[in-house]
Structure 1
Amino acid sequence: MPNILIVGATRGLGASLTKLYAASGWTVYGTTRSYEKPDGFIEAVHWITSTDLMQSDVGSTLAARLKGSTTGPLDLVIISAGVFTTEDFAEGPKWDDEVRMYTTSSVAPVFVVHQLVKASLLGKGSKIVLISSEAGSIALRTDAEGNYAHHGSKAALNMVGKLLSYDLKEEEIIVSLVHPGFMRTEMTKGVGFDKYWDQFHAVTPDEAAKSLKAWAEELDISKSGQYWAPRGSADIGTAEEVLGKDLPTPLELPW
């Protein structure tokens, strides 16, 4: 039975992935910042509570707790946790918000992956999917204002994933950077982006989870270190402007 670790498993895309993989017969390990297991999930999920990506020891702590639970290397790791706080130039950026977004999106994943590899919890054929966003593409930014850390932290995550793919190439561990789609979540609603849901064809987290699972199943070493949109360009407002018309699905995104 294949096994998966989902970091950020209780909300949005992470929650949908957790339920989907558990229902598909996978052994699922899910992290939550809470001290208690969340309600409303399949009982078979193995919860790793008190996992906070803002803590410097998150990687070593997570690896140590997993080490005694798994029967072998993880087949798949999806790091889905994210934070989005809006910013604009007039009001100015907020230091604590920026630190939280960068740490969660692009600092903590390095420590998590590093410790999982060192603990032999990732090995030949293991796959790592880092949930990025088209917001991290510099080439696709033709007209944008503010939200510096949201865009910057995803761009930083893309670089992190690229570098990890080189470091893990000899061990044949695959690293994928993914824009899973513009989603109808509490996160996007909380920053006022629900006004764009219909215009940019936003999908539910369950829909995004299904396409992401299909992507992971086909993922191989030839795509390691690359940046893709499994659902294509429909929800990327500047895709045709930058990349042209009649774009394929899945779509490889520019850095």
Structure 2
Amino acid sequence: MSTVLIVGGTRGLGASLASAYAAAGSTVYATCRSPSPPSSPSHDNILWVPAIDIATESAGVALAAALPPHAVLDTVIITAGYFTRESFEEPRWDEEVKMYTTCAVGPLFVVQALITAGKVKTHIKGGVPNDAGKVVLVSSEAGSIGLRHAKEGGGNYAHHASKTALNMVGKLLSLDLLGMGVAVAIVHPGFMRTEMTKNVGYDEFWDSGGAVTPDEAAASLIPFIDAFSLEKTGQFWAPRGSRDIGTAEATMGKDLPTPLPLPW
């Protein structure tokens, strides 16, 4: 079975992915920010890597060093994120910096450290890159400039822009890692019913916006990751299609496919 790393595995999508992969027989390394492992999710196949905060410069090096010497990862999934509401009337400097650091800066440093340490499977045969490891960056349709539309208004600058920045990080990583056979996927996993969206008041839109549970999002994302290959590296996808993207029809038209390639 595969070996999977979940960066941000204690709650939400990360916890659901860790549980699903572990139940399927994969070896799962999951990070948490606390100095000791959480009690949940719990499974014999989940091995916790504590004290990893993706918003710190040392997180990538610390994570690579904390993994066992024999560990070589088939899939790295970075789900860690941070979201707080803001408006044009009340921009919040420290909160913006934290969102950018967590969502866009940290993932680059983590991936770079893991690759440099030889912790991600690479494959080159006859001088030609072949499918090897996968890096999955959990972004959001909020980061798509093409999907932004007057019907939803402005605001939440760093939430949207940090995801846009993450999308560019993923695109550039796909170019740097292509020669190693490492495919990079950038995904919108769906509008989810999580504490993160509830804490910013988005729970009022859960029903009207078609929000799903993290377990449902994970169930859609895992087969997409399994099928993902170098042919699609560096692309931005919604594995669940347009069903929870309120501006999709207005900006992309009707009868959209599932999975759905998203505009930058």
TM bin (shorter chain): over 0.9
* SS of the residue 2:243 aligns to: coil
Which amino acid in 1 is paired with 2:196? M
Provide the rounded CA distance (Å) in 2 between the counterparts of 1:104 and 1:68.
27
Q: TM-score, normalised by structure 2?
A: 0.94
Q: CA RMSD in A?
A: 0.9
Provide the rounded CA distance (Å) in 2 between the counterparts of 1:53 and 1:94.
21
Shift of 1:67: 4.5
Give yes or no for the alignment of 1:246 onto 2:255: yes
Q: Percent identity?
A: 57
Give yes or no for the alignment of 1:139 onto 2:146: yes
* SS of the residue 2:180 aligns to: coil
**What does 1:51-200 align with in structure 2 at a 5 Å threshold?**
51-68=52-69, 70=71, 73-90=72-89, 92-122=90-120, 123-124=122-123, 125-143=132-150, 144-200=153-209
Which amino acid in 2 is paired with 1:57? S
* Larger deviation, residues 114-123 vs 60-69: 60-69
Q: Which runs of 4+ in 1 moved over 6 A?
A: none
Provide the rounded CA distance (Å) in 1 between the counterparts of 2:193 and 2:55.
25
Give yes or no for the alignment of 1:49 onto 2:50: yes
Q: Deviations over 1:110-136 (max 9, x none)?
A: 111111111111123100100000000
Shift of 1:42: 1.3
* Larger deviation, residues 53-62 vs 238-247: 53-62
Tell me if structure 1 keeps the 8 A contact 2:12–2:194.
yes
Provide the rounded CA distance (Å) in 2 between the counterparts of 1:174 and 1:203.
27
Q: TM-score, normalised by structure 1?
A: 0.97
Provide the rounded CA distance (Å) in 2 between the counterparts of 1:164 and 1:237.
29
Q: Deviations over 1:134-179 (max 9, x none)?
A: 0000011112221000000000000000000000011110000000
Provide the rounded CA distance (Å) in 2 between the counterparts of 1:69 and 1:5.
14
Unaligned runs of 5+ in 1: none
Match of 1:8 in 2: 8
The number of aligned residues is 252
Shift of 1:68: 2.4
Q: Deviations over 1:51-75 (max 9, x none)?
A: 01121111111111115251xx210
